[in-house]
Structure 1
Amino acid sequence: MFDHVGFPCGDVETSVAFYTAVFAPLGMTVGLRIPTGPPGAPEVVGLGSGGGHNQFWLAPGHAVEQELHVAFGAPDRAAVDAVHEAALAHGAEVLHAPRIFPEYHPGYYAVFLRDPDGHNVEAVHHTFS
């Protein structure tokens, strides 16, 4: 449904390292960097899974009182599990380990994590049978 979404980050490069490591099993890579000032200033960074369209943007910002939430689609349950393993290897806080969440629907398989700025991020695979 969304074309792209952006998150404010206290440290853009820390967040880029987190997302590209933890969500690598979903193909997440850096697609574009946009300078915001003189050399060495924080950049706005667009992430995507190829194809030239950056769907997830990280920008310099300040802490917010309300956490943001975004769920990244996974092609299968193995990819959700791989995101979980990458999160553990990266030292990320796991809010909910991979499992089926029947309260959403019977085939909702997801892992929920905390990013470096405290946002709730998720990898999810929907199985409808």
Structure 2
Amino acid sequence: MSYKYGVGIAHLEFWVKDLEESILFYSKLFPMIGWYALNRTSYSCGAHEIYFKEMPVALHPSLGVRHICFHAKSREVVDKVGEWLQSINADIIRGPQPMPQYDNSYYTVDFRDPNGFVLEVTHMPDIEL
């Protein structure tokens, strides 16, 4: 049996409290880090897909992933994301900053999206997966 895609995560579904607010946020963030729109509510990097569904928290409360980290092609991309986050008064947890306790090449910005999801954009060229 052959598969169109390799082994890995096919997609991530985000349940969000306000679809329009989330789409506005991610439609700005994702192009900065190399992701593109597949349609109005889903995005891809070419290997993975993330899509968004509005879901009232009162109806479907659930625990989820602690945070999602996106690879950046350069430190400049991390800085660009940090500048954009500052310009919209986003909830920045830390950075952009180096994190030598992980690796001397690790450079990151951590923040919350409009739903409170913790996201990270990092450049880590010397780390092998």
TM-score (norm 2): 0.76
Whole-angstrom distance in 2 between the partners of 1:22 and 1:99: 18
Structure 1 counterpart of 2:35, from 23, 28, 36? 28
Structure 1 stretches lacking a partner, 5+ long: 34-44
* Aligned-residue CA RMSD (Å): 2.2
- Indicate if the aligned counterparts of 2:13 and 2:53 stay in contact, CA closer than 8 A: yes
- 1:37-96 per-residue CA deviation (whole Å, 9 max, x = no partner) reads xxxxxxxx11124x5x66211111244464641111110100011111111122211111
TM-score (norm 1): 0.76
Whole-angstrom distance in 2 between the partners of 1:31 and 1:87: 23
Aligned to 1:47: 43
- Indicate if the aligned counterparts of 1:23 and 1:86 stay in contact, CA closer than 8 A: no
- Indicate if the aligned counterparts of 1:23 and 1:83 stay in contact, CA closer than 8 A: no
Whole-angstrom distance in 2 between the partners of 1:67 and 1:114: 14
State, as a whole percentage, how many aligned pairs show the same letter. Answer: 28
Report the AA paired with residue 121 of structure 1: L
Task: Identify, as 1 or 2, the structure richer in strand.
Answer: 1
Report the AA paired with residue 50 of structure 2: F
Whole-angstrom distance in 1 between the partners of 2:115 and 2:79: 23
Q: Relative to structure 2, which stretch is displaced further, 60-69 or 111-120? A: 60-69
Equivalent pairs counted in the alignment come to 116
Query: What's the offset of the Cα at 1:8?
Result: 0.7
